[in-house]
Amino acid sequence: MRNHEARPLQANELQVVKSMLLAKKSISEITGKRLRGKKRRLYVSSNKLYSARKADPAFDSFVKEHIADSISRALKLRWSLYRSHQATTKRREQANDYYAIRAMIPGHVTDVDEIVSRIFEDMLSGTLDRADVPKRVRLYVQERERLFPTKFRKFGDSLLVSLDEQVFDDGGATRGDMVSRGLWD
């Protein structure tokens, strides 16, 4: 009850509060509220300031007059912090794109980084949207396997074989000779 009764500020406290309000300081700076975890000096407690405003209508109108634009300053600060948070979040998401795309590629694929770099090239050139990446990963993998076939790639009914492999056990002819000259030349 004693905290809520209306009492004016002492002369020195009143002078400090008025000078701070004239210097465009906020109420939270006067009452020593923390700013983003940082402790500030307490000039007058919030209860004392509230009761002084209740006790002295002239002082109350003085305070109202000098804090009228403080809401807009607080909103500007809040929105600048919000925009910087959004920009930081966006940059982090873009930095994590590499790992997200890499996780979309099947485990049996060799040289995953080459496929990821191709996807990034297409994203940067504008031919691929970030939202379309999950749908198009399979196409990139198929293109890579077509360009660099593994030994399991089928050509007709046979596996992919080396051209340096001997055709017959007792002869010296290789598969490369068969391709270039034929069997009976």
Res 3: pLDDT: 58
> Average pLDDT of the chain?
82
Give the number of other CB atoms < 10 A from CB of residue 178.
13
Res 139: pLDDT: 92
Query: Residue type at 31?
Result: T
HEC per residue, the chain: CCCCCCCCCCHHHHHHHHHHHHCCCCHHHHCCCCECCECCCCCCCHHHHHHHHHHCHHHHHHHHHHCCCHHHHHHHHHHHHHHHHHHHHHHHHHHHHHHHHHHHCCCCCCCHHHHHHHHHHHHHHCCCCHHHHHHHHHHHHHHHHHHCCCCCCEECCEECCCCCCECCCCCCCEHHHHHHCCCCC
Res 148: pLDDT: 76
Asked if the model's pLDDT at residue 157 lies above 60, the reply is no
- Residues 6 or more apart whose CB falls under 8 angstroms from that of 24 comprise 66
Res 93: pLDDT: 79
Where do the domains of the chain lie? 11-68, 91-151
Q: Which of 11-25, 71-85, 154-168 has the lowest mean pLDDT?
A: 154-168
pLDDT band at 183, cuts 50/70/90?
low
Q: Which residue has the higher pLDDT, 133 or 34?
A: 133
pLDDT single digits (tens) 43-96? 888 888 888 888 888 988 988 888 887 777 778 888 899 999 999 988 887 778
**Can you give the C-alpha Rg of the chain in angstroms?**
38
pLDDT band at 118, cuts 50/70/90?
very high
Q: CA 10, CA 183: separation in Å to the nearest integer?
A: 114
CA nearest neighbour of 145 among 174, 179, 111, 97: 111
pLDDT single digits (tens) 7-16? 778 888 888 8
In contact, 177 and 183? CB cutoff 8 Å? no
| Token pair recorded at residue 23 | 């210097």
Q: Is the pTM of this model over 0.95?
A: no
